[in-house]
Amino acid sequence: MTPEEIQGIFFVECEESLAAAESGLAACKAGTQDADTVNAIFRAVHSIKGGAGAFGFEALQAFTHTFETLLSDVRECLVPITPTLVDLLLRALDVLADHVTVAREGGVAPEDASLIRELEGAMANAAPAHAAPVAEEPVATATYDEEDLTSDFDLDAMLNDLAGSPPLEELATAEALGWLIHVRPHAGAMRNGGEPLLLLRELVALGAVPAECDVSAVPSLDDFDPHQGYLGWTYSVPEDVSENAVRDIFDFVGDDCPIAIGPDAAIPPVQLDRPKAPPPPVAAPAPLSAVPAAPRPAAPAAAKPAAPEAPPPPAPEAASGSAPPAAPTPGQSIRIDLIKLDKLIDTVGELVIAQAMLAQRLQNENVQSSEELTLLESLTRDIQESAMSIRAQPIGSVFSRVPRILRELASSTGKHVNLQVFGETTELDKTVIERLGEPLTHLIRNAVDHGIETPEERLAKGKSAEGVLTLSAEHRSGRILIKIADDGAGINRARVFSKAVEKGLISPDAQMSKEEIDNLIFAAGFSTAATITNVSGRGVGMDVVRANVKDLGGRITIESEEGKGTTFTLTLPLTLAISDGMIVKVGDQTLVVPLTHVVESLRPEPKDVQGLGSNRQMLNVRGRFIPVVSVAAQVGASGAVTNPSQGVLIVVDTESAGQAALMVDNIFDQRQFVIKSLDTHYRSVDGVAGATILGDGRVALILNVDTLVASAIESGFGLQAA
């Protein structure tokens, strides 16, 4: 693996760690945390810090260090969990996320000095530069004072230590303070900007005091190699500090900095690295020579071997590898290159086509049904589902970004919003997930900026001061429904209407239904924000949202009630590669109508269809009239039926024009089809969403129901006089 690849893994793990910390803090905010919640947050920040150190991201490392120190105090219950603290930690997490982004993509590191001061101020031992990086006012960082030092350790003891073998009674004095930990950083701990003194500093921050520094291994100048670790330490740790808290400090460096704990243990032996250590994070090579440290009398094998047994893993792995067992253990997993996965999906798509072709061929040979064919069909479907499920991800990964958006909005608009999330484990295709982020962000900003009122307005209306934003996701008949609901003011239709008139989007005397007015907010260049804020109000939001959702093959609908709130519903396909559709015949053409649009299909009685003017027809569906659109006229097919009662009408839902009835000759199949882009193979064609290969090998066009119906209605239904 190249260092770049390992760094890539580090960033992936950073994302995971950030998400873990975010959900942990969310639990703290909701008051549902337990001991392990804080532990999990600490581990997450700790592993980012470790990687940051290994890869030399100094700003990131310095910030995580302070963050982690505070978390450590929280974990030790030295600092109580209060709403103020959780708020501070959340803000720190946001800045941490920015730091990670800067480390990954470059740019200017976020301004964190004041936040670091705040974090330090919140620490249990709020000394001015308690956990500051080495450079800052180091004298103040010591957590023990001169008196401690002189009363518990006399200089003679130290002088003896320097000779290499301290008398046992001196150790006993140290022990009286608490317990002993022995540390020996090896060369690996100093590689890639690693600095063992930072670890020792953390140890001292816990209240530990140095009992012994073994300098016996330091060679004379002639043999000196700046890459080696020659020093070893024994620290005395106060009784009330837990062993785990100390182990956590050294967790990340693992075998590069072995520790031994217990009165009978000794400083781990010196382990010299190959001279001139090889470059970055490749696992440490086997030592050429192991020089045992001057063994202390009556010091048998370490009572508790501290170093993990595993071989030294590459830096980012170490954090997860040595995490305490209390961490939630996810199932085993491997990382796969997306390109490989896409290729698999492509091949499965071809398999679906080949299977359909085989079925068709057998049918032509009068083999109507065979057990093998049924088996093949079900296996193909299984393979397809498995392949899809590999790409599937819980939508929680998108939802998890929302709290941060809300926090930023709260600080910029003063509107505090209570977030409720349902169905975050609902899975959908990775491509859909990736492209969902932007429209969702827009909708949420919109809901807070336009929907939810200011606290004063809310109180005046008898609502709680805090708005409620509800996000939910669920599967419904092969699609996924995502709802973004706020309990705000709802759409002010009168204002939307007058704004649309003002913008010249509609005429002042237009008669419009509530839904039609609501849909105006999706028009390009439309915005009713009284003042342009940096949140929204530039009128580029909602039309972009609709375009994004449309690109995903989905639809967006609005339900709004004045004074009660607004709900945006996104209906999305589970995957973009394979879809269900109706294969229809229109004259000499075979076309596919995506099932996502279909409401019902029917063969109308002559009385159900009524003429409207010279060339328009309306279908009466249970008392409601919807326009009949002749597909043949739109796609230019010849020889199609022109009388609706001789053909079949497919009632479809569209985004811009409500429901319409597509007139086709007949429906002859409903099956899965693999979507082949027309844009990449030919060019974009209005009214056509793409193409697919049918079982008999012919190419069929997939209708873009939205644009087809919209253009038909514009041109007067496109129906020849019936």
Partner 1 sequence: MRTITLPARCDRAATEALLPEFQAALGTGALSIDASATQQIGQPMLQLLISVRRTGEGATITPSPALREAARLTGLEVALFEGTMA
For partner 1, the binding residues (CB under 8 A) are 133-135, 137-139, 141-142, 149, 155, 158-159, 161-162, 185, 190, 193, 195-197, 200-201, 204, 210-213, 215, 218-222, 224, 226-231, 233
> 609 with 619: CB under 8 angstroms?
yes
Shortest approach of partner 1 to residue 21 CB, angstroms? 28
Q: Which is nearer to partner 1, 36 or 195 (CB)?
A: 195
Q: Which is nearer to partner 1, 230 or 522 (CB)?
A: 230
The CA-based angle 85-90-94, given to 5 degrees, is 145
Q: Which is nearer to partner 1, 213 or 685 (CB)?
A: 213
Sheet holding 565-573, edge to edge: 417-422, 467-476, 479-486, 565-573, 555-561
Shortest approach of partner 1 to residue 218 CB, angstroms? 5
Shortest approach of partner 1 to residue 134 CB, angstroms? 4
Shortest approach of partner 1 to residue 98 CB, angstroms? 25
Q: Residue 220 class from Cβ within 10 Å (0-12 exposed, 13-18 middle, 19+ buried)?
A: exposed
Amino acid at 703: L
Q: Residue 266 class from Cβ within 10 Å (0-12 exposed, 13-18 middle, 19+ buried)?
A: buried
Tokens 């945006």 found at: 568
**What is the C-alpha to C-alpha distance for residues 489 and 578, in angstroms, rounded to an integer?**
40
Shortest approach of partner 1 to residue 277 CB, angstroms? 10
Shortest approach of partner 1 to residue 214 CB, angstroms? 10
Q: Looking at 532-665, which runs of residues are DSSP E strands?
A: 555-561, 565-573, 578-586, 589-594, 598-602, 609-612, 616-621, 624-630, 648-653, 659-664
DSSP lists the bridge partners of residue 234 as: 182, 212
Q: What is the 3 state secondary structure string of 171-224? A: HHHHHHHEEEEEECCCHHHHHHHCCHHHHHHHHHHCCCEEEEEECCCCCCHHHC
Q: Which is nearer to partner 1, 184 or 546 (CB)?
A: 184
Shortest approach of partner 1 to residue 188 CB, angstroms? 12
What letter would DSSP give residue 65?
H
Q: State phi, psi for 78 to the nearest 5 degrees.
A: -80, -25
- The runs of H, that is alpha helices, within 106-195 are 113-122, 146-152, 155-163, 168-177
Q: Which is nearer to partner 1, 192 or 645 (CB)?
A: 192
Q: Which is nearer to partner 1, 224 or 668 (CB)?
A: 224
Shortest approach of partner 1 to residue 300 CB, angstroms? 24
Question: How many CB atoms are closer than 10 A to CB 212?
Answer: 26
Q: Which is nearer to partner 1, 62 or 675 (CB)?
A: 62
**What is the C-alpha to C-alpha distance for residues 56 and 52, in angstroms, rounded to an integer?**
6
Shortest approach of partner 1 to residue 64 CB, angstroms? 18
Q: Which is nearer to partner 1, 147 or 309 (CB)?
A: 147
Q: Which is nearer to partner 1, 137 or 515 (CB)?
A: 137
